[in-house]
Amino acid sequence: MCLCAPIWAALVLTALPGGTDYGIPASLGAMSVSADSAGVSAAAAAAALNSLSKRESGSRSLTPVKFVLNWLPNVEFAGLWVAEQKGLWRKAGLRMSYTPYSQAVHPEEDVVNQGGNAFGFQSGAAVAIAVSRGIPIQALYSDTQKSVFGLTVMAGSKIKKLSDLRGKRVGYQPHELYVPETMLSSVGLKPADWRPVPVMFDINQLLSGRVDAFLTFVMNLPIQLKMQGIKVRTFPAAEYGFHFYDDVMFAPTSLIAHDSGLVRRVVTVVARGFEYAHTHVVPSARFTCQKYYTASPARSAANVKQQILELRAFGPYSKDRNGRFSGTMGTSTWQDSINILYKYGEISSRPNPATIYTNRFNPYR
Return the CATH number at 222: 3.40.190.10
DSSP of 185-227: HTTT--GGGSEEEE-TT-THHHHTTS-SEEEEETTTHHHHHHH
Asked if residue 254 and residue 141 are part of one domain, the reply reads: yes
Confidence of residue 200 (pLDDT cuts 50, 70, 90): confident
Using alpha carbons, select from 17, 3, 27 the residue that is nearest to residue 307.
17
Q: What is the mean pLDDT of residues 197-223?
A: 95
* pLDDT above 60: residue 228: yes
Domain end, chosen from 239, 267, 291, is at: 239
Asked if residue 116 and residue 263 are part of one domain, the reply reads: yes
* pLDDT above 70: residue 103: yes
Asked if residue 140 and residue 249 are part of one domain, the reply reads: yes
d(CA 327, CA 267): 10
pLDDT value for 147:
98
* pLDDT above 60: residue 60: yes
* pLDDT above 80: residue 240: yes
Q: Return the DSSP state at 363.
A: T
Asked if residue 305 and residue 162 are part of one domain, the reply reads: no
The residue range of the domain holding 231 is 149-239
* pLDDT above 70: residue 89: yes
Asked if residue 248 and residue 136 are part of one domain, the reply reads: yes
pLDDT value for 42:
39
DSSP of 23-69: SS-HHHHT-----STT---HHHHHHHHHHHHHHHHHHHTSEEEEEE-
Q: What share of the chain is helix, strand, coil (3-state, %, to 5)?
A: 40, 15, 40
Helix/strand/coil for 235: strand
57 compared with 167, residue with greater pLDDT: 167
Residues facing 70 on adjacent strands = none
Residue 229 counted as domain residue: yes
Letter for the amino acid at 309?
L
Confidence of residue 59 (pLDDT cuts 50, 70, 90): low
Count the helices and strands in the chain (H runs, E runs): 14, 10
Q: Return the DSSP state at 16.
A: P
Q: What is the mean pLDDT of residues 181-209?
A: 96
Residue 52 counted as domain residue: no
Asked if residue 297 and residue 153 are part of one domain, the reply reads: no
pLDDT value for 58:
53
Give whole-number Cα distances, 71 to 3, 23, 123, 195, 312, in Å.
12, 23, 11, 29, 18
186-194 long-range contacts, CB within 8 A, separation 24+: 186/162, 186/240, 186/241, 186/242, 187/161, 187/162, 187/163, 187/240, 188/163, 189/163, 189/165, 193/166, 193/167, 194/165, 194/166, 194/167, 194/168, 194/169, 194/170
Asked if residue 168 and residue 306 are part of one domain, the reply reads: no
Residue 214 counted as domain residue: yes
Residue 358 counted as domain residue: no
Q: Per the structure, how many domains does the chain have?
A: 2
Confidence of residue 276 (pLDDT cuts 50, 70, 90): very high
Asked if residue 227 and residue 153 are part of one domain, the reply reads: yes
Strands (E), the chain: 63-68, 94-99, 118-122, 137-144, 149-154, 169-172, 195-198, 213-217, 232-236, 246-252
d(CA 179, CA 237): 8
Separation of CA 325 from chain center: 15
Residue 164 counted as domain residue: yes
Asked if residue 320 and residue 291 are part of one domain, the reply reads: yes
Asked if residue 128 and residue 251 are part of one domain, the reply reads: yes
Asked if residue 177 and residue 135 are part of one domain, the reply reads: no
pLDDT value for 325:
99
Mean pLDDT (the chain, rounded): 88
pLDDT, tens only, 285-321 = 999 999 999 999 999 999 999 999 999 999 999 999 9
Domain end, chosen from 239, 257, 287, is at: 239
Residue 297 counted as domain residue: yes
Q: What is the mean pLDDT of residues 270-292?
A: 99
* pLDDT above 50: residue 353: yes
- DSSP-derived pairing of the beta strands 232-236 and 149-154: antiparallel
* pLDDT above 50: residue 196: yes
pLDDT, tens only, 134-148 = 999 999 999 999 999
Name the pTM for this structure.
0.84
Residue 351 counted as domain residue: no
Domain end, chosen from 201, 223, 239, is at: 239
pLDDT, tens only, 13-58 = 333 333 332 222 222 222 222 223 333 333 433 343 344 334 444 5
Q: Yes or no: say if 240 and 179 are a contact pair by the CB < 8 Å rule.
A: no
pLDDT value for 174:
86
Residue 129 counted as domain residue: yes
331 compared with 30, residue with greater pLDDT: 331
Asked if residue 334 and residue 215 are part of one domain, the reply reads: no
13 compared with 335, residue with greater pLDDT: 335
d(CA 118, CA 152): 36
* pLDDT above 70: residue 279: yes
d(CA 326, CA 253): 22
Q: Give the Cβ contact number of residue 362 at 10 Å.
A: 19
* pLDDT above 60: residue 245: yes
